């Protein structure tokens, strides 16, 4: 965790030097464990976590908004933990919190991984209204949540101008689905999509696809970072986090929504 904090602090420094107003870090930026037991064992309350406290100090010292995915204990404590996305404001306070709704239980053997997030993670029970920032109102979702358009559409109805999908995607699903899904969420909600992604090898069992991406409300990819192409490539073991800087233009949201009004026929399909 101290290693991850140091990496994130480097990204804070880069963001501040670039004049950024906010920094978006991936899902599970505090740690990715090699088993459910290890993931639960490493989890600490945010008030005690050196990782979270370090980022709170970095936000305060630099007057920088930070959005970051972490693990937190349930309340009351249980055998499982929460996969959450928090906003740390410029004063260093945790100002917004979302708990991942959909947990990733998949079996892609023999050509891909088998993962059972529900062994360690308790799914959330609600979406949270968009968080207003100087860059616009952002709806919080996490990784696998992107496969479900319903919460994205709800956040849009609640005023979101951008959607957040911090992630640690698998390599096979990343190659096939990542860009397509995220562009769909941007186009159908006519919102910015920011998906900060873990990239490279975590341990013997886990590799993340990467491809951090920012998509305009019109579905255009305005920035992206590297992704994993070849699982046997040695550079996957020693990747350093990259920083992507992008201008978020809120007029683009208005323009796209004016040009193509998406008036839903909920009289015909009220269940959505
Ligand atoms: O394990 C942790 O600590 C952090 N959590 C994750 O990495 C999660 C659960 S394993 N990853 C995903 O949801 C990937 C989704 C995906 O790859 C897809 O939808 O195809």
Kindly report, residue by residue over 167-183, the tens digit of the pLDDT. Answer: 999 999 999 999 999 99
pLDDT tens sequence across 27-75: 999 999 999 999 999 999 999 999 999 999 999 999 999 999 999 999 9
pLDDT tens sequence across 135-156: 999 999 999 999 999 999 999 9
Say how many CA atoms lie within 13 Å of 140 toward its Cβ: 28
Ligand 1 nearest atom to the CA of residue 198, by list position: 7
Question: Which of 36, 42, 143, 165 is the pocket-test mutation for ligand 1 (most atoms within 8 Å of CB)?
Answer: 143
pLDDT value at residue 112: 86
**Residue 188 pLDDT exceeds 90:** yes
Cα of 229 from ligand 1 centre, angstroms: 18
pLDDT value at residue 109: 93
DSSP state of 60: H
147 within ligand 1 shell (Cβ under 6 A): yes
Q: Please indicate whether residue 143 is annotated as part of the active site.
A: yes
pLDDT value at residue 230: 80
The residue whose C-alpha atom lies closest to atom 1 belonging to ligand 1 is 32
Q: What is the mean pLDDT of residues 90-108?
A: 97
Q: Are 66 and 88 in contact (CB under 8 A)?
A: yes
pLDDT value at residue 234: 62
The residue whose C-alpha atom lies closest to atom 10 belonging to ligand 1 is 117
| Helix 179-189 × helix 149-157 angle, to 10° | 30
**Residue 207 pLDDT exceeds 90:** yes
**Residue 111 pLDDT exceeds 90:** no
The residue whose C-alpha atom lies closest to atom 14 belonging to ligand 1 is 169
- Say which of 8, 143, 161, 236 is annotated catalytic: 143
Whole-number percent of the chain with pLDDT over 70: 97
Cα of 161 from ligand 1 centre, angstroms: 25
- In Å, how far from its chain's centre is CA 49? 19
CA angle 122, 159, 60 (to 5 degrees): 70
The residue whose C-alpha atom lies closest to atom 17 belonging to ligand 1 is 169
The residue whose C-alpha atom lies closest to atom 3 belonging to ligand 1 is 32
Alpha-carbon span 27 to 52, nearest angstrom: 13
When the pLDDT of each residue in the chain is averaged and rounded to a whole number, the result is 96
- 235 or 5, which is more confident: 5
**Residue 232 pLDDT exceeds 80:** no
Alpha-carbon span 60 to 93, nearest angstrom: 8
Question: b/e for 190-225, b at 16 or more Cβ within 10 A?
Answer: bbbbbbbbbbbbbeeebbbbbbbbbbbbbbeebebb
**Residue 13 pLDDT exceeds 90:** yes
173 within ligand 1 shell (Cβ under 6 A): yes
Reading the block at residue 171, the tokens are 């390599």
- Global confidence as pTM: 0.97
Domains of the chain: 2-259 (3.60.110.10)
Whole-number percent of the chain with pLDDT over 90: 93
Ligand 1 nearest atom to the CA of residue 27, by list position: 4
Of the candidates 2, 3, 19, 59, the residue with the CA atom closest to the CA atom of residue 243: 19
**Residue 190 pLDDT exceeds 80:** yes
- 76 or 231, which is more confident: 76
Alpha-carbon span 261 to 155, nearest angstrom: 17
pLDDT value at residue 271: 80
Q: What is the mean pLDDT of residues 233-258?
A: 90
Write a three-state SS string for 105-156.
EEECCCCCCEEEHHHCECCCCCCCCCEEECCEEEEECCHHHHHCHHHHHHHH
pLDDT value at residue 142: 99
Cα of 172 from ligand 1 centre, angstroms: 12
144 within ligand 1 shell (Cβ under 6 A): yes
- Say which of 43, 100, 117, 199 is annotated catalytic: 100
169 within ligand 1 shell (Cβ under 6 A): yes
pLDDT value at residue 52: 98
Q: What band does 213 get if pLDDT is binned at 50, 70 and 90?
A: very high
Q: What band does 14 get if pLDDT is binned at 50, 70 and 90?
A: very high
């Amino acid at each position: 965790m101290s290693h991850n904090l140091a990496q994130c602090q480097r990204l804070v420094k880069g963001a501040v030097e670039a004049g950024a107003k906010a920094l978006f870090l991936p899902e599970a930026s505090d740690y990715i464990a090699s088993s459910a037991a290890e993931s639960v064992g490493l989890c600490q309350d945010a008030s005690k976590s050196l990782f979270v406290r370090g980022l709170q100090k970095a936000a305060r010292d630099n007057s920088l908004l930070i959005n970051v995915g972490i693990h937190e204990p349930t309340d009351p404590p249980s055998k499982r933990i929460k996969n959450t996305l928090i906003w740390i404001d410029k004063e260093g306070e945790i100002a917004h919190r979302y708990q991942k709704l959909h947990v990733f239980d998949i079996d892609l053997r023999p050509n891909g991984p088998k993962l059972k997030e529900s062994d360690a993670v308790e799914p959330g029970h609600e979406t949270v209204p968009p968080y207003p920032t100087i860059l616009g109102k952002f709806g919080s979702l996490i990784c696998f949540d992107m496969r479900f358009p319903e919460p994205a559409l709800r956040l849009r109805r609640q005023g979101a101008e951008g959607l957040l999908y911090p992630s640690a995607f698998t390599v096979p699903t990343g190659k096939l689905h990542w860009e397509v899904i995220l562009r769909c969420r941007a186009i159908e909600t006519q919102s910015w999509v920011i998906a900060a992604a873990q990239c490279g090898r975590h341990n013997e069992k886990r590799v993340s696809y990467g491809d951090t991406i920012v998509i305009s409300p019109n579905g255009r990819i305005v920035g992206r970072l590297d992704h994993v192409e070849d699982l046997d490539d040695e550079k996957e073991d020693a990747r350093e986090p990259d920083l992507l800087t992008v201008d978020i233009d809120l007029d683009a949201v208005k323009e796209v929504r004016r040009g193509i009004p998406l008036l839903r026929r909920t009289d015909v399909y009220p269940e959505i």
